[in-house]
Amino acid sequence: MAGGPTTAALVTAAAKAGGIGFLAAGYQSVDDLRSDIGAVRSAGTELFGVNLFITQYDDARSATTDVEIDGFARTLERIAMAAGLDGPAPASFTDNDYAGKIDYLCKNPVPLVSFTFGLPDAEIVRRLHDVGTEIAIMVTTVNDARDARERGADILIAQGSEAGGHQSTFSIADEPIGRTTVDLTQAIRAELDDVPIVATGGIHSAVDARAALEAGADAVQLGTALLNTPEAGTSAPHRYGVKQHFDSKGESTTQFTRGFSGRPARGVINRFVLATQNAPAAYPYNNQMTKPLRASALSLDLKHGSEYVALWCGSSASHSKQAPSGFMEGMALEQVFAAIDPFGDKS
């Protein structure tokens, strides 16, 4: 997940445990990406990847209006005043120097680059392939999977509706279709039998992992199950808010919200989510506007602060109606991997 949970330490730990970690570079600067790649390589990790967000100005402008953005800014002002938070920043567009990061990765290749929110241009695919980088594209529909394969994806990441954080819809205005990870994986495999599929969303136990593999996946990707590991950069309010929901309900209450960023993303329902139910499809404008609120919430006490930060968290898959393995205990990543190993304990 972008925004803090993924760290160089987490990627390194994933490699040591037999997995492949991805640096979440969607919001990073080139300098920060360079630093994280250096840290991963200094730790002796060779096989890892970098994830990038695709943000296009035309898509952003067609998904919303200035009137909607201004109205949301007023909503944020009211929320900030009532909660004692910093007010919203001006609405602005940014693609977080996407081109600069592509240039850096072409000059300093990594084994894998994955893309969220759409298809990279054919020229970018060619440039990355030319330097030996394999490309993964996260998809939420069969049609998007087909388009991604035609664009040159070496790997498809099938993201089910259970996944925490942003849904990788290809257009900002698109709503998640609600297809489960297993169902989506089965459907993509039925259409495309010549490409590796990584299933993600609701993989909280060995049972979930086996179900995804039986549906046609070649591997699974974890997110929520790793949020509370010591190697993760998850903020204290984020850890607290998600754990409180698991403590109180046994299964977290989550929903999609556009309030924090403007794109649909699954997280635990808190006061901010409830107050922004009518947030516009205004990515990345909402993300820019909410930055001061979210940052100031980090300085509040955990209970209060957790009501105003994005508590990205996946919903429990149908096979595991409980908190993800290791989340409550704060297990190290290697322990979580062992608990979710589909080839381990068959219980």
Parse the chain into domains and list their residue ranges.
8-340
Point out the least confidently predicted range of 89-98, 157-166, 231-240, 325-334: 325-334
H/E segment holding residue 190: helix 181-191
Give CA angle at 100 (99, 103), nearest 5°.
85
5 close to 233: Cβ distance less than 8 angstroms: yes
The predicted-structure confidence for 24-59, as pLDDT tens digits, reads as follows: 999 999 999 999 999 999 999 999 999 999 999 999
Q: 340 pLDDT exceeds 90? A: no
163 close to 204: Cβ distance less than 8 angstroms: no
93 close to 285: Cβ distance less than 8 angstroms: yes
Which of the two residues, 204 and 326, has the higher pLDDT score? 204
Q: 222 pLDDT exceeds 60? A: yes
C-alpha to C-alpha distances, 39 to 7, 9, 23, 36, 51, nearest whole angstrom: 10, 8, 11, 5, 16
- The correct answer on CATH 3.40.50.300 for the domain covering 8-340 is no
Task: Supply 304's token pair.
Answer: 């209060």
C-alpha to C-alpha distances, 194 to 154, 188, 198, 217, 325, nearest whole angstrom: 10, 11, 13, 12, 32
Give CA angle at 54 (48, 57), nearest 5°.
160
pLDDT at 338: 80
The predicted-structure confidence for 139-180, as pLDDT tens digits, reads as follows: 999 999 999 999 999 999 999 999 999 999 999 999 999 999
Q: 347 pLDDT exceeds 60? A: no
pLDDT at 317: 38
40 close to 53: Cβ distance less than 8 angstroms: no
Q: 295 pLDDT exceeds 90? A: yes
pLDDT at 319: 39
Looking at every residue in the chain, the average pLDDT score rounds to: 92
50 close to 98: Cβ distance less than 8 angstroms: no
Alpha-carbon span 316 to 161, nearest angstrom: 11
